[in-house]
Structure 1
Amino acid sequence: MSGHSKWATIKRKKAKNDSQRGKLFTRLSKEIIIAARNGGADPAGNMRLKSAIEKAKAANIPNENIQRAIQKGIGGGEGANFEEFSYEGYGPGGVAILLDVATDNRNRTAGEVRHILSKHGGNLGETGCVSWMFKKQGIIIIDRTETKLNEDEIMLAALEAGAEDVKVEDDSFEIITAPENLTAVESSLTEQGIPVAEAEITMIPQTTIKLQGEEAEKMVKLIEMLEDNDDVQAVYTNFEQEE
């Protein structure tokens, strides 16, 4: 049940880059607004809002800013009229790209995304062209430096909690769950004293494409430019870079 996944490494690098660019604040604030608008202001009954608030606090976003975003979500008005949808397309080497977008101007976002893709060797595709290559899953990251439990103990705890799989990385354990079981598995692990570094619903590619050399460099740059766009909430690809 162990294995190697590039997803967590790319995901953690993305988060660090987002923080350095100051983009994480905008992205998380938008997520809080949308979560509150769709599910209400009480995180106890709104798991999406609970997750967004936890991420915002982990990113050191001030509590008053979090509350302001919640109020925007439940009160409507300026800043709360975001649409959520996905874009699908291809990058260099035929890499599949799936984007989660939240925007108040669909035409602007479409133009910007199309420009970024074409400038960096990609193109926008039709709805459904690559989404079938990804599976929605819950993923829980355990930092190996934060727990004294070994691989077997983590696996046993995760599987007994209802997880589907455990992948072992150099610096972390990746626990895979069904989306609807993410909260229950996370709670079970926390109750057992296992520190959870991150828990979220994501899209995991079922197969990957390895690129190297110039194509890999183009793909990395493309991902960075897409992530740098304020309307793009998440970038998922099946890109695997050669070591």
Structure 2
Amino acid sequence: MRRLSSLLPSVTGLARPARPACALLCQHHARPLSTTQAASAGHNKWSKIRHRKGAADIQKGIMRVQHSKMITLQSRLHGPDSAQTAAAVTAAKKAGVPKNVIEGAIARGQGRSAMGTALDALTLEVIMPPGVALIVDVETDNRLRSLEDLKHLVKTHKGRVGSSAAFLFTRRGRVVFDASGDPSPSLDDVMEDAIEAGAEDLDTDADGNVVVWTQPNMTTAAMESLAPRFGGRVLSSEIVWDPNEETKVKVDAAGDAQTLGDLVAALQEYPEVQAVYANAAKGTISDEEWSWVENSLDS
């Protein structure tokens, strides 16, 4: 909680005995029933395989995004040739992150594309069934191309672009510190320093890391001020779109969750998308169905 105020070879030449007409007739009429059962079983098996593969693909995509963000952060904070960036690159390589993704992440930390072109920030507002609002943060060297690609992606997933969604969110600064190492101060230990650095709220995530919330313009100052207390272990430092609790939309239909999750996963795979936020909340769907959405979102 916040304080201060997260898958038989054919034998030619041998004649086969003729079957009685009644057997042929019976077989003809029985075949549709047998075929229907086989198709149903095959469909169920394929659905399970497709679901498992989809879940594995999402996890792979999440892993790639996480490593890419860490490389970008270290490149931005410490430089492209720093030991911190090198460590992040090594971890990404061990996880199988492609070379072009790694190179792009390093360059992005310096405010440019892998080709050396300056990046331009772009925000996309999207509405998805059943009224869920999405904010997509993009950094691109070609606004028109990215807009065209992303609009097409949203349209193919039953969404619409251009609707006003930003008012459903609050822009906030968020810095996450790794509290698992040494030193590992508690919330109480850093509370006074955090307030002086401009923190509005302190929190811990599911992994026990310390989360500091600030006004957007105080994000960097809070990060720089508190980083030494955690031995410089900064997991993230960013300005996020925090959905307003009173305007969150519950997702009750499995089909809506599937479509929303598919879009978010596709957006996260787009190289120039930096983050995807949504004001979606779990409704009456199962935990497994909800995880399709939740695991792909930035929060």
Instruction: Give TM-score, length-normalised by structure 1.
Output: 0.66
Aligned AA for 1:224? Answer: A
Q: Share of identical aligned residues, percent?
A: 27
Corresponding position of 1:112: 149
Structure 1: which 5+ residue stretches go unaligned?
7-14, 33-42
Change (3 A) 1:166 1:134: same
Corresponding position of 1:12: none
Mapping of residues 44-123 of structure 1, within 5 Å:
49-50=76-77, 57=86, 59-60=88-89, 69=107, 79-80=116-117, 82-123=119-160
Mapping of residues 148-167 of structure 1, within 5 Å:
148-167=184-203
After superposing the two structures, state which structure 1 stretch, 151-160 or 230-239, moved more: 151-160
CA positional deviation for 1:231 = 2.8
Deviations 1:82-122, CA, capped at 9 Å, x for gaps: 44322211122211111222334444323321222122232
Change (3 A) 1:149 1:212: farther
Aligned AA for 2:77? Answer: K
Corresponding position of 1:2: 2
Instruction: Give TM-score, length-normalised by structure 2.
Output: 0.56
Q: Are the counterparts in 2 of residues 179 and 201 from structure 1 also a CA contact under 8 Å?
A: yes
Mapping of residues 188-207 of structure 1, within 5 Å:
188-193=225-230, 195-207=233-245
**Number of equivalenced pairs:** 212
Structure number with the bigger relative contact order (C-alpha 8 A, sep ≥ 6) is: 1
Q: Equivalents in 1 of 2:184, 2:277: separation in Å?
A: 32
Corresponding position of 2:97: none
Q: 1:211 aligns with which of 251, 258, 274?
A: 251
Q: Equivalents in 2 of 1:216, 1:51: separation in Å?
A: 39
Partner SS state of residue 167, structure 2? helix
Q: Are the counterparts in 2 of residues 143 and 171 from structure 1 also a CA contact under 8 Å?
A: no
Corresponding position of 2:174: 139
Aligned AA for 2:279? Answer: N
Structure 2: which 5+ residue stretches go unaligned?
7-57, 94-101, 288-299
CA positional deviation for 1:178 = 1.4
